[in-house]
Structure 1
Amino acid sequence: MAVNAAKSGGRVVARHGGALFRLAPVSGLSTSTAAMTAQRISHYLAHHPRATWEALSAAVPAAPLPHGHVDAVILSLAAKNSHTSSPELVARNALTFFYWSASSSSSSQSHSLRSYCLLVHLLSRAALIRDASVLLQSAIAKHSSSPASPFLDAFFAAYEDSGTAATTRGLHLLVHAYARARLPEEALDACHYLSQRGVVPSLAAFNAVLHAAQRSGRFGVAWEVFELMTLKRVYANQSTVELVIGVLSRSGALARMAALVERIHGKKCAPGVVAHVALTLRIFEEGRTEQGILLLRRILQRNMVFDDIAYSLIVHAHCLAGDLKSACEQRDDMVRRGCRLNSFVYTCLIRVHCSEGNVDEALQFLQEMLSIGLKPYDATYSHLVAGCFRQGRMEEGSEYMGKMLHEGLVPDNGTCNEMLEALCDSGEVSKANELLTAVMDKGVVPDQNTYLRLINGYGKVGDAQGIIKIYHEMEHKGLNLGVDVFTSIIRGLCQCRNLKEAEKFLTVVQRKILAPTSEMYDVLISSNCEKGNTKKALWLYDKMTENDMAPSADIFMMLVKRVIKAKPACSSNC
């Protein structure tokens, strides 16, 4: 098939199989003439067996194409469902025209985002996935923005404008393209965008986003993708489960989650069960109880978790929400359905009773648990110990702590801090220190809050050396000490009436390039006033004003009264 071209009088004449194409003069094209030219070019591309660059240069005007001319040509091809030409042939010719018009020396404009989008849908319809992917990645690199909504709007509009000839293949390809570009957040946005418009991404597309999120360490995005696909009834396959297990492993939560599932069910479960339990727990911990229960019921219908695991997690959700009545009703429903109660369910009920101060009811659940042969674990004891110490029942709490340590179990930092706070508030700081040493020997690593409780405790009993020792221990462990730590140290030393050491720590704060707080100055001013050192209190007040700070109203009045009281004494001496 030959193409003959001749230029005469500003026209280009192209012959194709005996048919004569007369394209309008280039200069001064009207809107209607430009539209006619676009139709003729699209007709040429739709019926020519192989549009080469040479043939296009002969058949298409060589001068700059009007704005939107390329869009119109591709739109005409994308919206046309030709029965006479192969979709692959039309798409390849359109791609050739696209590249030719972009690189032609006569072309003065780069392609619009709309041109890219229309052509991607045309290529996708023809199953030219590789070409469509390359073009889509190029479009993302040139036209994508943050947020991705303008790009998504343009891409979906091109899909709709393609008419009945369009397929959703290009829409799924967009999710893949974002994932390949290592843009998991944008890929997730695309998944949400398409889902809201009735186009649910394919399982392969969701897996691609999961893979991108896992590789880039965006674990939060990975969980959102896993949740969305499950809620949209796109259920996980083996690749999905492997990716989610990879997220759990890389975030350090896999062993804990597998142990929890085994504790509920009584034996080890498949990775798919662990993955879905982890997702559900994450939703519950975010306070989205209803959404988590909905998701749980869906995966239960698909036999992706066991009945006892599902009902146990629902009990856990109600306990997290503080709805003890619903939690107990769900536990009773478990029994009616023939599910075996487990230590996880009892621990959830014990936790909510202890948090509400009902330690006696929690102990009843413990006895019921032991009576049916269930064994308490570290969380069970931790909740009981913390509950006892909060209620001032320190002997009982210490007894359960002893059982816990005897069984080789270790409390978490939150439980340790509850115990230390209760002991320090009661003035038993030495016992608190001994307790901390004992749990540290078992592997507990104290955090900043742990040491803050000891600092406050030493301040209440007037042990300045104890405070200083805690400070040096924190420094030795390399903890990042902020102004809240130094505020507690200064307050504690002032309680011990060791103002000289307290002022030294004010200097330490400045040396560490930290900004002293008004609370630090308030404590020092009030302590000096109480001690009768008015001159020092005024000096500290001056320092406050130099740093654009002002004392609280109570401290200011205390300082004023002290100055007024000091003046008569000065006058009588004079």
Structure 2
Amino acid sequence: MANLKPAESAWGFYMEVLDCGYPPNVRNFNVLMHKLCKEGKIVDAQMVFDEMGKWGLLPTIVSFNTLINGYCKSGDLKEGFRLKSVIEESGMRPDVFTYSVLINGLCKESRLDDANRLFDEMCDRGLVANDVIFTTLIDGQCKNGRIDLALEIYQQMLKKGVKPDLITYNTLINGLCKIGDLKEVRNLVDEMSTRGLKPDKITYTTLIDGYCKEGDLESALKIRKKMNEEGIKLDNVAFTALISGLCREGRVVDAERTMREMLNAGMKPDDATYTMVMDGFCKKGDVKMGFKLLKEMQTDGHVPGVVTYNVLMNGLCKLGQMKNANMLLDAMLNLGVVPDDITYNILLEGHCKNGNPNHFDKLRSEKGLISDYASYTSLVNEINRTSKDRQRG
């Protein structure tokens, strides 16, 4: 019965069995509801639940919990709480699973105060919270940026003798990395080891991302080395974080090498990652490599946007290659990439610094460009003023 798929087949088969005179069974009704809820068919699950009553069967706490779980996962918390009331009115008591499901639903809707109140109610009724409930509450606080409260719940968890698992630690580490509290992150990693828990791929990836965002590239690279030693492969998030960190430190050759490793591992860098590496090379004056990566992007099926072209435009202008910058503008327009104010200001500054501010004005007229006129007049006036000051000197 439990192996029949899909749920409608199981239901049809069970009805045939009942029609043959076999007595109905609460357990089988529960299995059917579970299947339907798993498939997101909560209306059908409710019909099965109602059918139990027609056969004179009393739903168990498992029956109620299955349906409550289904409603909560479908986003109907109101119906979940209504069923909790029905449990209480029928003389049964909600169990830990009932509370766990409802608390999870409240946390997903960011109703954290309501989740805490429900948690208190559960404890007042003598039910002992497990690691799942504590982790759910911690996760809810972390996702809403309330890390201090998450740590308080964690301490409460320890005081009650509930052992945190790897999911608990990963949740806290992720929350702390998001606010840049690397000191507390290190404390938690040490605590994990003390409790005999070994970091997994999620832990390491979170740490790499957190360290890179806070500018601690060396710590991130140490984590990467540790992953390699343990045979744990980097994922998209870890590769992207490392590439970003390397670019930020000006280690653009290492960043490009890391991107090659990412490609060889079967992962595709996104537009932002390609652009990041291109920007690194352009800032080093290697615009040729920037264009090589542009071609690679296009070959890989990416459609570079204005941000990517602005990076190349800026690189050309800084090298004084204004003719090539103008040609790149033509290429952008031909490809349907609409220049933005940043594009115009890069070109304007390039032409002004290379002694020909009027050339940009000519470009504006020929191409029908609409730029930030205030930026244009301001920069031209500044160039003219500087030029006059030099002549006086």
Q: Same fold (TM over 0.5)?
A: yes
In 2: Cα distance, 1:276 partner to 1:449 partner: 38
| Matched ranges for 1:310-325 at <5 A | 310-325=63-78
Distance in 1 of aligned mates of 2:4 and 2:196: 29
Match of 1:533 in 2: 284
Change (3 A) 1:538 1:448: farther
Aligned with 2:319: secondary structure? helix
Are positions 1:229 and 2:9 aligned together?
no
In 2, distance between residues paired with 1:234 and 1:437? Answer: 58
Change (3 A) 1:350 1:555: same
Distance 1:498 1:300, change over 3 A: farther
Q: Distance in 2 between matches of 1:282 and 1:434?
A: 43
1:542 to 292, 312, 316: 292
Normalised by the length of structure 1, the TM-score is 0.48
Using a 3 Å threshold, how does the CA distance of structure 1 residues 276 and 515 change in structure 2: closer, same or farther? Answer: same
Q: How many angstroms apart in 1 are the aligned matches of 2:108 and 2:127? A: 22
Displacement of 1:395? 2.1
Contiguous gaps of at least 5 residues in structure 2: 322-349, 356-393
Indicate how the Cα distance of structure 1 residues 408 and 375 shifts in structure 2: closer, same or farther if over 3 A, else same: closer
Following superposition of structure 1 onto structure 2, how do residues 321-400 of structure 1 map, counting pairs within 5 Å?
321-400=74-153
Tell me, yes or no, if structure 1 residue 492 matches structure 2 residue 245: yes
Distance 1:510 1:443, change over 3 A: same
Deviation for aligned residue 1:438: 3.2
When structure 1 is superposed on structure 2, of 482-491 and 395-404 the one drifting more is: 482-491
Q: Would the aligned equivalents of 1:388 and 1:394 in 2 still touch at CA under 8 Å? A: yes
The equivalent of 1:430 in structure 2 is: 183
Moved more, 278-287 or 368-377: 278-287
Superposition deviation, residue 284 in structure 1: 1.7
Distance 1:278 1:400, change over 3 A: farther
Aligned residues: 319
The equivalent residue for 2:360 is none
For 1:27-51, what per-residue CA distance to the aligned partner results, in whole angstroms no more than 9, with x for missing partners?
Answer: xxxxxxxxxxxxxxxxxxxxxxxxx
Report 1:168-567 matches (<5 A): 221=5, 226-230=10-14, 232=16, 234=18, 277=30, 279-299=32-52, 306-405=59-158, 407-411=161-165, 413=167, 415-439=168-192, 442=195, 447-509=200-262, 512=265, 518-529=271-282, 532-535=283-286, 537-546=287-296, 548-549=299-300, 551-567=304-320
Asked if 2 retains the 8 angstrom alpha-carbon contact of 1:351 and 1:383, the reply is: yes
Structure 2 Cα separation of the partners of residues 386 and 411 of structure 1: 13
Q: Deviations over 1:488-540 (max 9, x none)?
A: 321233234443432331343355566655443211112344xx3121x4313
Tell me the distance in 2 between the aligned counterparts of 1:505 and 1:411: 32
SS of the equivalent of 2:180 reads: coil
Change in Cα spacing, 1:482 to 1:347, as seen in structure 2 (3 Å) is: closer
- Asked if the contact 2:208/2:220 (under 8 Å) is kept, the reply is yes
CA distance in 1, matches of 2:242, 2:126: 48
Preserved CA contact (<8 Å) 2:138 2:150: yes
Shift of 1:381: 0.7
Change (3 A) 1:488 1:283: farther
Q: Give 1:487 deviation, angstroms.
A: 2.4
- In the alignment, the residues of structure 2 paired with residue 278 and residue 416 of structure 1 have an alpha-carbon distance, to the nearest angstrom, of 33
Q: What secondary structure does 1:478 align onto?
A: coil
Contact 2:278 / 2:293 at 8 angstroms: preserved in 1? no
CA distance in 1 between counterparts of 2:76 and 2:50 reads: 19
Q: What SS does the aligned partner of 1:534 have?
A: coil
Distance 1:294 1:410, change over 3 A: farther
Instruction: Tell me if the contact between 1:276 and 1:305 (Cα under 8 Å) persists in the aligned partners.
Output: no
Alignment partners' CA distance in 2, 1:505 and 1:470: 15
Give the match's secondary structure for 2:71.
helix
Partners in 2 of 1:231 and 1:403 — Cα distance?
49
Distance change (3 Å), C-alpha of 1:223 and 1:321: closer
Give me the whole-angstrom Cα distance separating, in 2, the residues matched to 1:520 and 1:235. Answer: 62
Larger of the two Rg values belongs to structure = 1
Q: Report the 3-state secondary structure (helix = DSSP H, G, I; strand = E; otherwise coil) of the residue aligned with 1:399.
A: helix
SS of 2:232 mapped into structure 1: coil
Deviation per CA, 1:514-568: give whole Å up to 9, x if none: 6655443211112344xx3121x43132144156256432121122123113217
- Which secondary structure does the structure 2 equivalent of 1:479 belong to? coil
Deviation (angstroms), 1:312: 2.9
Deviations 1:132-162 (A, max 9, x none): xxxxxxxxxxxxxxxxxxxxxxxxxxxxxxx
Distance 1:477 1:228 in 2: 50
| Counterpart code for 1:334 | I
Cα drift, residue 405 of structure 1: 4.2
Q: 1:322 to 1:543 in 2, by over 3 A?
A: closer
Give the Å deviation of 1:364.
1.0
d(CA) in 1 for partners of 2:110, 2:28: 34
Q: Percent identity?
A: 22
> 1:379-408, CA deviations, whole angstroms, 9 ceiling, x for partnerless residues?
211111111222222222112223334524
Q: Which structure would you say has the larger RCO, counting Cα contacts within 8 Å and 6 or more residues apart?
A: 2
Shift of 1:231: 5.4
